């Protein structure tokens, strides 16, 4: 079966073709970061308008790259939520229109389900059950994943998401938007230079006894230190490194605690912060010590993309009770949507 995936929940238009036997056939992405960079953050109205401009050309490009016509499609999967309402509506309406024209099913996919299943696109892939650490710009969650649609929340951030904390800290260090990758690069360079770090930041909620996180205090701690001294390149590197180390330490310890609590031995890391090199290295090293294995999506599938939506759609398509079979040309979006409860609403 051939599935077209469409992702438009935030500032990336992602389109992909996934075949249940042949795997991922083609994918294309347009990132709006440059456009939003001018404003220091995502401007929802501009995001929606840009998705409208990009999505159909990307669909054509993806089909051409696979040498396939739209008529070959068996289903369409789109990101139904959570995300920016206007941006979601673009993907949802295009998916519904194509589904109507081609008389094929249209599946609404939870964006975070896309992220947490994305390591299954890699080889070797994890098998259910596993623990998933979802670390994106909007979410930081530990989930116990027993099967498709069977997600139990083990812990989450009580304030900023990890990616959000990276972006806000990067901004106050003058690294632009979105600054996560730039901050990480600066931190890695400082670390590699071998200089001693004069800064040490707290590890928020490390001993809280649960699997929750808090990251907003770290950003404030960096701000307080940055105001006390001239922001030289050396100071910025040291602060970036101290910040990254604190976030990585907490994410690593809580992920390992989640493995211990559940008795599971596979950890899946998904979402944009999963691209962070220090997090990847640290998690692998520490998990190995307790006999666990860590799985990451390919770097290009860590951040938002269409492949993870096409893949999640393909998985659901093969299990009829996990999707709604009505072909009535209506579509819905859910700007706020709890992953744990996603199948409870009967949609
Ligand atoms: O999953 P994603 O593309 O979008 C959301 O669904 O939020 O994640 C984007 C987030 C941004 O906050 C970005 O700064 C962060 O992931 N990010 C990183 C790195 N690459 C992306 N954070 C730290 N280190 C990185 N290498
Ligand atoms: Zn995402």
Condensed to tens digits (0 to 9), the pLDDT of residues 300-323 reads 999 999 999 999 999 999 998 888
DSSP, res 196: P
Q: Do 210 and 243 belong together in one domain?
A: yes
Instruction: Record the tokens describing residue 64, joined without a space.
Output: 């051409």
Q: Do 152 and 267 belong together in one domain?
A: yes
Return the bridge partners of 79, or none.
109
Q: Do 57 and 157 belong together in one domain?
A: no
Q: Do 170 and 74 belong together in one domain?
A: no
Least confident of 99-103, 152-156, 176-180: 176-180
Question: In ligand 1, which atom is closest to the CA atom of 9?
Answer: 6
3-state SS of 285-329?
A: HHHHHCCCEEECCCHHHCCCCCHHHHHHHHHHHCCHHHCCCCCCC
pLDDT class of 327 with cuts at 50, 70, 90: low
Q: Do 211 and 256 belong together in one domain?
A: yes
Q: What is the tally of structural domains in the chain?
A: 2
Q: Do 262 and 164 belong together in one domain?
A: yes
Whole-number Å distance between alpha carbons of 337 and 347:
12
Q: Do 199 and 225 belong together in one domain?
A: yes
Question: Residue 190 falls within a domain, yes or no?
Answer: yes
Instruction: Record the tokens describing residue 261, joined without a space.
Output: 């609590």
Q: Do 218 and 202 belong together in one domain?
A: yes
Question: What's the pLDDT at 40?
Answer: 86
Provide the domain limits for residue 254: 127-296
- Among 137, 168, 299, which is best to mutate for testing ligand 1, by the most ligand atoms less than 8 A from CB? 137
Q: Do 187 and 292 belong together in one domain?
A: yes
Tell me: pLDDT of 345 over 50: no
In the chain, what percentage of residues exceed pLDDT 90?
90
Interval 126-151 mean pLDDT: 96
- Among 273, 277, 298, which is best to mutate for testing ligand 1, by the most ligand atoms less than 8 A from CB? 273
Instruction: Record the tokens describing residue 63, joined without a space.
Output: 């089909």
pLDDT class of 346 with cuts at 50, 70, 90: very low
Measured from the CB, is residue 166 less than 6 Å from ligand 1?
Answer: yes
Q: Do 79 and 62 belong together in one domain?
A: yes
Q: Do 307 and 255 belong together in one domain?
A: no
Question: Residue 330 falls within a domain, yes or no?
Answer: no
Question: Residue 337 falls within a domain, yes or no?
Answer: no
Measured from the CB, is residue 99 less than 6 Å from ligand 1?
Answer: no
CATH number for position 184: 3.30.420.40
Question: Residue 26 falls within a domain, yes or no?
Answer: yes
CA of 313 to the centre of ligand 1 (A): 23
CA of 308 to the centre of ligand 2 (A): 10
Measured from the CB, is residue 177 less than 6 Å from ligand 1?
Answer: no
Q: Do 286 and 172 belong together in one domain?
A: yes
- Among 163, 170, 271, 279, which is best to mutate for testing ligand 1, by the most ligand atoms less than 8 A from CB? 163
Interval 241-254 mean pLDDT: 98
204, 251 contact by CB (below 8 A): no
Question: What's the pLDDT at 78?
Answer: 97
Q: HSE, CB side, 13 Å, CA atoms: give it for residue 315.
A: 18
Condensed to tens digits (0 to 9), the pLDDT of residues 42-67 reads 999 999 999 999 999 999 999 999 99
């Amino acid at each position: 079966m051939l599935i077209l995936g469409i992702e438009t929940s935030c500032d990336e238009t992602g389109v992909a073709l996934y075949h249940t036997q042949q795997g991922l056939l083609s994918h294309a992405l347009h990132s709006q970061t440059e456009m939003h960079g001018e404003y220091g953050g995502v401007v929802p109205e501009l995001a929606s308008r840009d998705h409208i401009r990009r999505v159909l050309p990307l669909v054509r490009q993806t089909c051409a790259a696979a040498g396939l016509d739209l008529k070959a499609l068996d289903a369409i999967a789109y990101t139904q939520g959570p995300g920016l309402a206007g941006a979601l509506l673009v993907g949802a309406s295009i998916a519904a229109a194509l589904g109507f024209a081609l008389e094929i099913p249209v599946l609404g996919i939870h964006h975070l389900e896309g992220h947490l299943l994305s390591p299954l696109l890699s080889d070797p892939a994890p098998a259910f059950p596993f623990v998933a650490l979802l670390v994106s710009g909007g979410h930081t969650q530990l989930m116990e994943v027993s099967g498709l649609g069977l997600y139990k929340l083990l812990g989450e951030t009580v304030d900023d998401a990890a990616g959000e904390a990276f972006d806000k800290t990067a901004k106050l260090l003058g690294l632009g938007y979105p600054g996560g990758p730039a901050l990480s690069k600066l931190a890695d360079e400082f670390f590699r230079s071998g200089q001693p770090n004069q800064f040490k930041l707290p590890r928020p909620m490390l001993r809280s006894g649960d699997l929750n996180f808090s990251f907003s205090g770290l950003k404030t701690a960096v701000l307080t230190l940055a105001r006390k001294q001239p922001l030289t390149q050396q100071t910025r590197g040291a602060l970036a490194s101290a910040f990254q180390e604190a976030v990585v330490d907490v994410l690593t310890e809580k992920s390992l605690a989640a493995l211990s609590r559940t008795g599971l031995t596979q950890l899946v890391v998904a979402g944009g912060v999963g691209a962070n090199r220090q997090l990847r290295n640290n998690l692998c090293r520490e998990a190995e010590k307790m006999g666990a294995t860590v799985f990451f999506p390919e770097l290009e599938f860590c951040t938002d993309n269409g492949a993870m939506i096409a893949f999640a759609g393909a998985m659901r398509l093969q299990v009829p009770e996990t999707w709604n079979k009505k072909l009535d040309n209506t579509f819905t979006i859910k700007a706020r949507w709890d992953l744990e409860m996603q199948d409870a609403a009967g949609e």
